[in-house]
Amino acid sequence: MDLVRLTKRNRDGSFGTQKNRQRGLTAMAGELKQLGYTLKTARSIKPKHVNALVEHWRDTGLTKATIRNRMSWLRWWAQKVDKISILDKDNATYELNDERTERSNVAFSLRVDQLNALTDRHVQAAVMLQAAFGLRREEAMKIIPKDAIKAVCLKLKGSWTKGGRPRTIPITSQHQRVVVSAVRQVAEDGSLIPADRSYAQHLRVYERQVHKASLTRAHGLRHKYAQARYEKLTGMKCPINGGPERSLMSEEQYELDRQARQRISKELGHNRIEITDVYLGRLLQGGSALCS
């Protein structure tokens, strides 16, 4: 209600712009509540809330263009409550560059020192799952290993995943087997949320831990999984890692690329093959590229 009052006091732009902004900001308040944050007033917004929203939007598969639009509403909100400094002016800080010009790769591998810096064993186990299987943050927390771990795959229930879509992720390496074994020991018969914490409470612990371990952009682990999976499935580096573009591919390589993207899209929990452009890079550069 405080946000609604704020929009009514500040009638910037056309009537349509005002209504869209009001609906957008109200939706953000609902998303923050869903993520475990209850803001008492519009002035209660902090950098952690901005980061949580961006991570949430990215996890749900929104395009960078859509998220950039929402960031403009967030900046309007912050400006009207005299807290514009809580957001960086440059979208690049949030890895939201314009896809037409941005070619940077946000993927990274989990280092031993970063893993050791995670002193909460439940958080450590969740981050290991994120790195080994490309899980989203929420999925890695809510998974119940004793139910999910099968002989050759992880079977994720819809109640653990974004959008409620169950999915299967293959176990293809010895490293993944070591990870699932370690994770099962931590979780025992439950999830990777300790029994004495709610999801919202554990999310705050997670955020503090990953910040301390310099893993605030842990979504990059998901990118790394997708890229490593692509290389294993195709025998080629993906475009964002310097792999061949369409014009340099044989028909056999192109078919391998298409099949790998479809498979990776499903393993990551997306229902559009085009979303793999975000993780792997666009196959067709400089022309009729796939939309990301």
Boundary of a domain, candidates 217, 249, 272? 217
Same domain for 90 and 180, yes or no, is no
Residue with the two structure tokens 């310097």:
242
| Residues 6 or more apart whose Cβ sits within 8 Å of residue 177 | 171
Number of neighbouring beta carbons within 10 Å of residue 214: 11
In a domain, 252, yes or no: yes
Query: CB of 265 within 8 A of CB of 246?
Result: no
Average pLDDT of every residue of the chain: 88
Q: What is the mean pLDDT of residues 243-254?
A: 89
- Over the stretch 164-182, which tens digit does the pLDDT of each residue have? 889 999 999 999 999 999 9
Residue type, 61: G
Same domain for 124 and 199, yes or no, is yes
In a domain, 88, yes or no: yes
Boundary of a domain, candidates 67, 94, 121? 94
- For the chain, what is the domain count? 3
Q: Is 167 helix (H, G, I), strand (E, B) or coil?
A: strand
Same domain for 239 and 177, yes or no, is no
Find the domain containing 24 and state its range. 2-94
Asked whether the predicted pLDDT for residue 30 surpasses 80, the reply is yes
- Over the stretch 104-145, which tens digit does the pLDDT of each residue have? 788 999 999 999 999 999 999 999 999 999 999 999 999 999
Same domain for 53 and 74, yes or no, is yes
pTM beyond cutoff 0.75:
no
